[in-house]
Structure 1
Amino acid sequence: MNLILNVLWIVLGGAWMAAGWLLAALLMALSIVGLPWARSAVVMAGYTLLPFGMRAADRAEVTGPDIGTGTLGTLGNLLWLVLAGWWLALGHLMAAVLNAVTIIGLPFAWAHLKLAGFALWPVGRTLVPR
């Protein structure tokens, strides 16, 4: 079932949003300030391309507290929000609205909304199998 959902997802906006995450990774890699977020953006591009069967979870709950789950993680999230998070979230919101117009797109609209929240505040979170 996850395979079918992931194929439909790619067609209904997943490919475009994964490309957006890869563009964010490229822009982050080109700047010295954004280099720490470039790898995470590539991981998120993979998650955005094939989200069914995985879920985002707080890293503190999965592996315990670390440098990204405390104050530095909050600062990293604020920097991410300003540099890339808002426009990735906006892209996911627009894709959610377009998917919500159709009945078959409602589950995909919900997935885009979850990814929009993740796009705004990704530091200190990780991906785990469902």
Structure 2
Amino acid sequence: MNAILNVIWLLFGGIWLALGYFVAGVICCLLIVTIPFGIASFRIGVYALWPFGQTIVNRGGQMGAWSAIGNVIWLLVAGIWIAIGHVLTAIPMFVSIIGIPLGIANLKLIPVSLAPLGKVIVPSQGTSLQTYR
């Protein structure tokens, strides 16, 4: 079922959202200081291509103040625009019954689009976060 939802997701919005993350990642990597933002953007862009069967979890207190400062900068520079893109693509997905899970997945991407640092993407079936720390 996840594969079917992922293909439908890819066709009806996932590719455009991932492109937004990849453009933000390229811009961030061009500016040397913001390379960590670019890496986070690429990581979430790959997740935006194929979200079903994976989940996003916080790394916990490992990132500290630098992560918080970085998330504030990200929010002001790119996060708000990508979050708006998620909302705008979620609205038409809710129109059909098949699109409701896609719209929900789109809305679940908003928190990570606003604050990507300190997050990790893991498979959603039975995998512990300890494996990814």
- Name the Cα RMSD after superposition: 1.0
Relative to the length of structure 2, the TM-score reads 0.89
- The SS at the match of 1:35 is helix
Task: Kindly provide the CA deviation profile for residues 27-81 of structure 1, in whole angstroms up to 9, marking residues without a partner as x.
Answer: 1011123211111111111100000110000112xxxx32x2x221111100110
1:92 match: 86
**Unpaired runs of 5+ in structure 2?**
125-133
Give the distance between the partners of 2:29 and 2:67, measured in 1 at CA.
19
Map 1:57-72; keep pairs closer than 5 Å. Answer: 57-60=57-60, 65-66=61-62, 68=63, 70-72=64-66
1:54 match: 54
Q: Runs ≥4 in structure 1, deviation > 6 angstroms? A: none
Give the distance between the partners of 2:69 and 2:45, measured in 1 at CA.
22
Deviation at 1:88, TM superposition (A): 0.5
1:40 match: 40
2:99 match: 105
Task: Kindly provide the CA deviation profile for residues 87-114 of structure 1, in whole angstroms up to 9, marking residues without a partner as x.
Answer: 0100001011111122211110010101
1:4 match: 4
Give the distance between the partners of 1:24 and 1:4, measured in 2 at CA.
28
Q: Sequence identity, in percent?
A: 40
Give the distance between the partners of 2:66 and 2:41, measured in 1 at CA.
18
- The SS at the match of 1:57 is strand
Deviation at 1:18, TM superposition (A): 0.5
- Paired residues in the alignment total 124
